[in-house]
Amino acid sequence: MEHLFEAYSNTSDEDNQEDEPQPKRLALPSSTSKRPEHSQFQPMFRPSHSPDSTSEPQKEIMVPGRYISKRERALMSSAPVSRAPESFLNPSVQSSTVGSLSDSDLPRDILSLLRSRAKNYLQQGLMPKRMSVSLDCHTKAVNAVQWSPSHAHLLASAAMDYTICIWNIWSTEQKLAFKSSIHNAAVKDVEWSQQGLSILSCGYDCSSRLIDVEKGTEVGLFKEDQGVAVVKFHPNNPSVFLSGGLKGSLRMWDVRIGKVVNKYNRRLGPILDVEFTPNGNQFISSSDVSSSNSSESSVIVWDVTREVPLSYQVYMEAYTCPCVRCHPFDPVFIAQSNGDYIAIFSLNPPFKLDKYKRYGSHVVSGFPIKCNFSLDGKQIISGSSDGSIYFYDYKSSLLIHKLKASEQACTDVAIHPTLPNVIASCSWNGNISVFQ
């Protein structure tokens, strides 16, 4: 991991930076209900003025309905307008809108399926059979792909060539809709925000960045003292995300104030992946601890609000796990192992490994191979270093289907949010394929 960081990053680790202030604790919702509407989320924190801060002191908060005297109105009109710090808001993103983000030029049959949410397809349980779209823009390995949950015709990709792309998959004109080179090092992960057409990305340039794709502007910059390998939005609070870095730090950020609100401290190796449980009360982290010849802390389940590990010894085998994913309905999670199999664990304490069930026909070979569950939870789908996509039966762990995706390692697979027979994959040679 350190060699990859040195190879693809052109920025220093900034080890001599001043220590960050202690973060405030974040009170996250403990309800297991469905996601509330965005309008229900009100800011839980206000940025406070600190002696070493370069921003202006906060003005008194104006309460609606309070009487304002003529003198106060005169002072307010003469006061300079405050601006967000340039380190947090930077509208000059190095990006370009190549095609259209709209679904107006999609074929009628595809548009009809997307708008009907494909209920018949969910019942039939169809699997992809052939490659329908091949996308070629990245010049180096693609690390992650993800479908937009709100605009299901759009696919985001992040690659080692420092770029992020947004694809209008079924467009009859230009499929590449948006391209950004805002990062100045390899981009490791990308995730769609639940609020509008925005994406969150992270990379070896020691930062996470929130980009408004529709406007082509950066709306949030979150700097760290480490390369950032993975980012994940909280499932019940779209204003909060978790980041995992190459120095082993796990941090919770609030995008409204651009600050860390929680830290999860333990002596970990580089973070490989993180995953929230469906209720958002816990999350699972996977780290590379092979340097210490011990794997007792490679997979940890954390309590989100208390910032403490709930278990230290979830996975005891001498392999690292580049990917962890929770089942959409059952209280279990899986971990992609570098032992060339997928392990499955209980989400109930003490989070035991199921020793009698493994999914192991594919090959990992040290690549950051990811896996995922199908929409109905009945299948486990994984990439492989042989360039194929493997489909396993969740209950029996048997291999039920295999697709050739690329000539080099297939690093990530993304199941479409409404069409279960549509899957996107990316590869180590920079290609992206869509199967249906």
Q: What is the CATH number of the domain that holds 256?
A: 2.130.10.10
Q: So what's the pLDDT on residue 192?
A: 96
Q: So what's the pLDDT on residue 166?
A: 96
Residue 322, pLDDT > 50, answer yes
User: DSSP letters of 272-298?
Assistant: EEEEE-TTSSEEEEEE--GGGT--TTS
Average pLDDT for 311-330: 91
Domain-located, residue 24: no
Cα–Cα distance measured from residue 379 to residue 362, given in angstroms and rounded to the nearest whole number: 15
Domain-located, residue 3: no
Return the DSSP state at 54: -
Q: Residue holding tokens 């974040």?
A: 26
Check if the beta carbon of residue 313 is closer than 8 Å to that of residue 296: yes
> What pLDDT band is residue 114 in, cutting at 50, 70 and 90?
confident
Domain-located, residue 367: yes
The residue segments making up the domain with residue 319 are 86-435
For 113, half-sphere exposure in the C-beta direction (CA atoms, 13 angstrom radius) is: 19
Which are the contacts of 307, defined by CB distance < 8 A and separation ≥ 6?
25, 262, 263, 264, 265
Average pLDDT for 251-270: 92
Q: So what's the pLDDT on residue 38?
A: 41
Interval 43-87: pLDDT, tens: 343 333 333 334 444 434 343 444 555 565 555 444 443 333 443
Q: So what's the pLDDT on residue 75?
A: 55
Q: So what's the pLDDT on residue 328?
A: 95
Residue 226, pLDDT > 50, answer yes
Residue 366, pLDDT > 70, answer yes
Cα–Cα distance measured from residue 97 to residue 99, given in angstroms and rounded to the nearest whole number: 6
CB atoms within 10 A of CB 123: 10
pTM of the model: 0.78
- When divided into structural domains, the chain yields a total of 1
Q: So what's the pLDDT on residue 94?
A: 65
Domain-located, residue 14: no
Cα–Cα distance measured from residue 211 to residue 370, given in angstroms and rounded to the nearest whole number: 24
Mean pLDDT of the chain: 81
Cα–Cα distance measured from residue 203 to residue 145, given in angstroms and rounded to the nearest whole number: 14
Residue 327, pLDDT > 50, answer yes
Q: So what's the pLDDT on residue 104?
A: 87
Domain-located, residue 283: yes
Residues of the chain above pLDDT 90, percent: 61
Domain-located, residue 23: no
What amino acid occupies position 354?
A: D
Buried b (16+ CB within 10 A) or exposed e, 181-212: ebbebbbbbbbbbbeebbbbbbbbbbbbbbbb
Residue 90, pLDDT > 80, answer no
Domain-located, residue 29: no
Check if the beta carbon of residue 197 is closer than 8 Å to that of residue 213: yes
Of 46-50, 158-162, 190-194, 200-204, minimum mean pLDDT range: 46-50
Cα–Cα distance measured from residue 343 to residue 358, given in angstroms and rounded to the nearest whole number: 5
Domain-located, residue 330: yes
Order of all β-strands in the sheet with 164-168 = 95-97, 176-180, 164-168, 154-159, 142-147
